Each structure stands twice: as C-alpha cells, then as structure tokens.
C-alpha cells in the first residue's frame, strides 16, 4: 500500500488540514483518511454507492459482504505494544469489531504510556488485561486462556523489543507469556524507527519469527513520529491489519483446480514494422489476467503467456512476457503439457512480411509498401495437436457483429471445446474496460450451466454483465464443474 507524505502537500492544503483535524479532534493523518474515505465512497464505481447499487443481481451477489460473514463469530486477542503507533490500535479495535470480530486487548506496560486500558476497554466492550500476576485473571491461568480462547493473536504495534522477546521465547510479562503459550496463528504489525527495523538484530528476529510461522503485515514506508525522519517502519493502517486478520480467519477456500496445469494467453501482440514501430490492438489483457488469478486461487498451477500489457503479475502465477504472435506460439508450445488451455489473447492476425531492419525513412518515393502475412493461429495449432492437446481448450471470440454465429463458426474452424464470445464494439467499452458481457459456447456433450439453448450441437449460455474478475471466477467455476463431471 502506498502511503501519503503529508509534509509534501502544499502549504495551503496543510494549513487547511491542520485546522480541520484540530476542529474534529483527529490527527492530520486520520483527517486525510476520513476525507479520502468520503470521497471514494461517493464515487459511482464504489461498491455500495447509489449508482453502483443499480448493478445486476449477478453483480450484487458477487459482491456479498465476504469479510463480515467470513469472520463471523471470530475472536482476536489484540496485544498492544509500546510505541507511538499504539493510537492506531484503538482504530484497529473498531475496524475488527466492524467485521464482527470480538476483541480482547492486552496492553504491555510500555503501551500504557501511549494509550490507556480505559480507551481500549471502551472500544472493545471487554475487560482489558495488563498484568501477568493479576490475581483476578491469573487464578485460572489467564495468560493461557488469552492465548487459547481466541482464533487469532494480533500484535499491533509489534515493537522491536516484543519481537526480540518472541524470537527468543521470553515470557516475563503478560504479552510475551501469551505469545509463548499460543497455539493460534499470530499476526504481527511491526512499527519502529527505520534504523531499528534495519538493525541486524531485528532482521535476525524477523527471519526467525517468519520461520516460526508468524505472519507479518508491514511495516510501511513513510514519515516517522521523529521530526524529519522517514523510511520503512510505520505500522500498517488499521484497515490493512484488519483485512490481513480476516484473511487468516477466513476458512480455507475450496481449491477445485488443485493439481491441474492451466495455460492462459492474454493481451495483444505487437508485430514489428521496423525496430521502433509496430502493429498492435486495443486489448488490455485484463480478462486473461483475471482468469489467471482466478485459476490460481482455485489451486491450479498457472502459466500466463502475455503480450505487452500494463498489468502487474498475478500472485503465484508464472508469467511469461512476449511481444509477437510467433513468440507467443513458441512460449505456449514450450509450456505444454497442460490440462486446460485458455486463449484469451487478442493475437494479431497478420504481421509485416518485409520488417525493416532499420527505422523506415520518409522519402520522396512515397509511403513504404507494407506487405502483411498471416500469423500462426495459436488456438487452432494447439487445438489440433495430436499428442499434446490439452483435454480442455477454450478460445475467445471478440466480435463486433453477428457474435453468436461467428463464435459458433470459430469453434468448428479452430477445433476448440469452448468459446467465450463477447461483443467488443466500441459502444460496449469492453476493450480496455473493467466489465464484460459474455456468452459461453460449448460443443454439445460437454457440460455447461443449466438453462442452455442447444443450437446446431453448440450450446449457448449467456451471462449477465459482470466485471472481468467475476467473468473469470464464473469461468473457473464452470471448468471445475466440468472436470468434476468428467472425472
């Protein structure tokens, strides 16, 4: 997550923020968060905004409140360490409770220099624990109960000292005793001065704690409490820590594609005219990348061969970046065998036969004649392979007219099993946009969803308008269902 350096804002903005935050009794940083939150929540594309709520029922259900439901009934022991970031932990209590997570707080002695047990108790609606030798809680082994009677232990801020104690198994106060007695997952949100974070001792402790199975979020880069100091050491924001906690608390997702190799192409191809010019198309690669991410989340071993796009590699996916259609074909062939191949790339149909070795010059002889030759058809090549053909080959048909007829003809011509057809007329905004309206076509006899119309042995299933991520998730679900049926 990027962090915003308030110091770098212009003076008038800073003066306004100072006044406004003082008036509202918040820190400047908190005030900026509130302003951003209000601004973003008012945007039409923000889930839950009035215009976004006009989305189709399919979209609405796909946006179900996963966080609140997933973490329902969960409980967290929150250990607040002694650092200036402790004030953010009070906000963290709120964020966790918003997600229906019960919070029991433990404050170290040092933490009480920054926040009071009373504030933590008022926000968590629970008793707050501070002492290892508190007769009220220790008569029944309070530290063991705090360690065990929860689903997750969060340490925020995790100071250098607390982390050192953890790494070495100390247990001389309530927080360290709980951490040593824990049989639950532990999430640390480190916060300290950048020099402390980079110190060799802290580096060793971090490594050890990671090896011990502790999860960490942050620290982020940004300004420090100390004047004119910046660097890596700021505690992650409360929302980030809450999201990381929910991720850990969420029951493991089903992984229907576990053990399956999925090969995906995405993006456009660039066909060189000369060393500096090329022929391309408007494909953004978003749909193919979303499918790769969805297949990876479903447990598949995913290889994504992508043309030039401005997208980040999806986590856990092997991404191979290529330029031209011929590069793409070579890399696809090299990535076989696969169980499922999905060809979402907008491969250029033609390339320049007489590619210039040097940059073509303007001359009085007029425009250089560009001769085009046909590119190899990757989808057809793989679909027609004898030995290495993946058992399920899925193509895409991006059309601007006669969508279904053209897509049906494409299944037959290219020899694939399924086609995802979409209308890419400029008015649809699909090319480069975030939404897609697709039809899944399948050769009769291969399983797809209910409510299909069989036409000429090809079944057509029309989906409502969805985000590209939702299309990806749905496609992966259909693949999983089909594998299950065929197994």
Strands (E), 257-352: 261-266, 271-272, 278-279, 301-306, 318-321, 340-343, 350-352
Q: Which is nearer to ligand C5P, 152 or 263 (CB)?
A: 263
The answer to the question of residue 378 lying near ligand C5P (CB under 6 A) is yes
User: Are residues 421 and 439 in contact, defined by beta-carbon separation less than 8 angstroms?
Assistant: yes
- In a 3-state reduction of DSSP, which class is residue 256? coil
List, in order, residues 6 or more apart from 140 with CB less than 8 Å away.
none
Minimum CB–partner distance for residue 344 and ligand C5P (Å): 6
CA gap 3, 468 in Å, rounded = 28
Minimum CB–partner distance for residue 100 and ligand C5P (Å): 43
Let me know how many helices (H) and strands (E) the chain has, helices first.
18, 22
Minimum CB–partner distance for residue 217 and ligand C5P (Å): 38
Q: Which is nearer to ligand C5P, 214 or 397 (CB)?
A: 397
Residue from 197, 396, 418, 463 touching ligand C5P (CB under 6 A): that is 396
Q: Which residues of 160-175 are buried (b: 16+ CB within 10 A; e: fewer)?
A: bbbbbbbbeeebebbb
Q: Which stretch binds ligand C5P (CB under 6 A): 51-59, 204-212, 248-256, 392-400?
A: 392-400
Q: Which of 24, 193, 205, 281 is catalytic?
A: 281
The answer to the question of residue 306 lying near ligand C5P (CB under 6 A) is no
- Give how many residues touch ligand C5P by CB under 6 A: 14
Q: Which stretch binds ligand C5P (CB under 6 A): 220-228, 385-393, 394-402, 465-473?
A: 394-402
List, in order, residues 6 or more apart from 126 with CB less than 8 Å away.
102, 103, 104, 105
The answer to the question of residue 289 lying near ligand C5P (CB under 6 A) is no
Q: Which stretch binds ligand C5P (CB under 6 A): 154-162, 232-240, 362-370, 395-403?
A: 395-403
Q: DSSP letter string over 157-172?
A: EE-HHHHHHHHHT--S
Minimum CB–partner distance for residue 62 and ligand C5P (Å): 24
> Distance of CA 427 to CAs 267, 423, 431, Å?
20, 9, 10
Residue from 278, 343, 418, 463 touching ligand C5P (CB under 6 A): that is 343
Q: Which is nearer to ligand C5P, 289 or 343 (CB)?
A: 343
Q: Which stretch binds ligand C5P (CB under 6 A): 28-36, 141-149, 298-306, 343-351?
A: 343-351
CA gap 481, 468 in Å, rounded = 20
Q: Which is nearer to ligand C5P, 242 or 347 (CB)?
A: 347
Radius of gyration of the chain (CA): 28
Strands (E), 336-391: 340-343, 350-352, 372-374
Residue from 81, 268, 395, 415 touching ligand C5P (CB under 6 A): that is 395
CA gap 24, 31 in Å, rounded = 8
User: Are residues 285 and 314 in contact, defined by beta-carbon separation less than 8 angstroms?
Assistant: no
Residue from 186, 292, 379, 421 touching ligand C5P (CB under 6 A): that is 379
The answer to the question of residue 347 lying near ligand C5P (CB under 6 A) is yes
Q: Which stretch binds ligand C5P (CB under 6 A): 122-130, 169-177, 341-349, 470-478?
A: 341-349
Strands (E), 108-219: 152-158, 186-190, 215-216
The answer to the question of residue 377 lying near ligand C5P (CB under 6 A) is yes
Q: Which is nearer to ligand C5P, 379 or 440 (CB)?
A: 379
The answer to the question of residue 436 lying near ligand C5P (CB under 6 A) is no
CA gap 18, 22 in Å, rounded = 6
> Which of 166, 153, 162, 164 is closest to 110 using CA atoms?
162
CA gap 82, 288 in Å, rounded = 46
Q: Which residues is 459 bridged to in the sheet?
A: 442, 454
The answer to the question of residue 417 lying near ligand C5P (CB under 6 A) is no
**In which residue are the tokens 């299933």 written?**
461
Q: In 10 A of CB 84, how many CB atoms?
A: 17
Residue from 322, 397, 440, 471 touching ligand C5P (CB under 6 A): that is 397
Residue from 106, 175, 264, 325 touching ligand C5P (CB under 6 A): that is 325
Minimum CB–partner distance for residue 256 and ligand C5P (Å): 23
Residue from 77, 283, 375, 482 touching ligand C5P (CB under 6 A): that is 375
Minimum CB–partner distance for residue 369 and ligand C5P (Å): 23
Maximal CA-CA distance, the chain: 97
Q: Which is nearer to ligand C5P, 99 or 410 (CB)?
A: 410
CA 353 distance to own-chain centroid: 41
Closest residue to ligand C5P, judged by C-beta, is: 378
List, in order, residues 6 or more apart from 311 with CB less than 8 Å away.
267, 284, 285, 286, 289
Q: Catalytic annotation on 220? A: no
Residue from 265, 283, 303, 383 touching ligand C5P (CB under 6 A): that is 265
Q: Which is nearer to ligand C5P, 157 or 395 (CB)?
A: 395
Q: Which is nearer to ligand C5P, 9 or 380 (CB)?
A: 380
Q: Which is nearer to ligand C5P, 101 or 328 (CB)?
A: 328
| Site residues, ligand C5P (CB under 6 A) | 265, 325, 343, 345, 347, 349, 375, 377-379, 395-397, 410
Catalytic residue set: 281
């Amino acid at each position: 997550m990027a962090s915003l350096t308030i110091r770098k804002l212009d003076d008038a903005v800073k003066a306004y923020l100072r006044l406004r935050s003082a008036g509202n009794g918040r820190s400047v940083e908190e005030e900026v968060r509130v302003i951003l939150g209000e601004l973003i929540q008012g945007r039409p594309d923000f889930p839950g905004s009035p215009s976004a709520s006009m989305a189709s029922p399919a979209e609405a259900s796909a946006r179900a409140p996963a966080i609140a439901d997933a973490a329902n009934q969960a409980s967290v022991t929150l250990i607040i360490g002694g650092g200036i970031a402790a004030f953010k932990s009070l906000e963290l209590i709120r964020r966790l409770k918003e997600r229906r997570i019960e919070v029991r707080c433990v404050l170290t002695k040092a933490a009480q220099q920054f926040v009071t047990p009373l504030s933590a108790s008022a926000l968590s609606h629970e008793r707050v624990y501070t002492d290892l030798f508190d007769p009220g809680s220790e008569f029944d082994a309070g530290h063991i109960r705090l360690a065990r009677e929860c689903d997750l232990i969060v340490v925020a801020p995790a100071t250098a000292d607390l982390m050192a104690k953890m790494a070495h198994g100390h247990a001389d106060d309530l927080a360290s005793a709980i951490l040593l007695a824990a049989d639950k997952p532990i999430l640390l949100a480190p916060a300290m001065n950048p020099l402390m974070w980079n110190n060799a001792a802290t580096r060793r402790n971090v490594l050890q704690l990671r090896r011990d199975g502790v999860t960490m979020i942050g620290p982020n880069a940004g300004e420090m409490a100390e004047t004119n100091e910046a660097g890596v050491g700021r505690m992650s924001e409360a929302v980030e820590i809450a999201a990381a906690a929910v991720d850990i608390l969420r029951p493991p997702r089903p992984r229907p594609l576990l053990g399956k190799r999925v090969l995906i192409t995405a993006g456009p191809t660039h066909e060189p005219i000369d060393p500096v010019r090329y022929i391309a198309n408007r494909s953004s690669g978003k749909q193919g990348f979303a499918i790769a991410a969805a297949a990876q989340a479903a447990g598949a071993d995913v290889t994504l061969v992508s043309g030039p796009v401005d997208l980040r590699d999806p986590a856990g996916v092997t991404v191979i970046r290529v330029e031209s259609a011929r590069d793409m074909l070579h890399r696809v062939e090299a990535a076989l065998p696969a169980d499922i191949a999905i060809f979402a790339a907008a491969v250029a149909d033609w390339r320049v036969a007489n590619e210039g070795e040097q940059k073509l010059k303007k001359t009085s002889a007029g425009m250089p004649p560009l001769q085009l030759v046909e590119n190899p058809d990757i989808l057809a090549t793989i679909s027609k392979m004898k030995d290495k053909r993946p058992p399920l080959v899925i193509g895409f048909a991006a059309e601007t007219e006669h969508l279904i007829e053209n897509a049906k003809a494409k299944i037959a011509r290219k020899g694939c099993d399924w086609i995802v057809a979409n209308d890419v007329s400029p008015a649809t905004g699909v090319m480069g946009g975030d939404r897609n309206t697709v039809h899944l076509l399948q050769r009769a006899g291969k399983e797809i969803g209910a409510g299909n119309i069989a036409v000429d042995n090809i079944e057509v299933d029309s989906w409502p308008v969805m985000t590209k991520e939702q299309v990806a998730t749905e496609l992966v679900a259909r693949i999983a269902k089909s594998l299950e049926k065929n197994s």
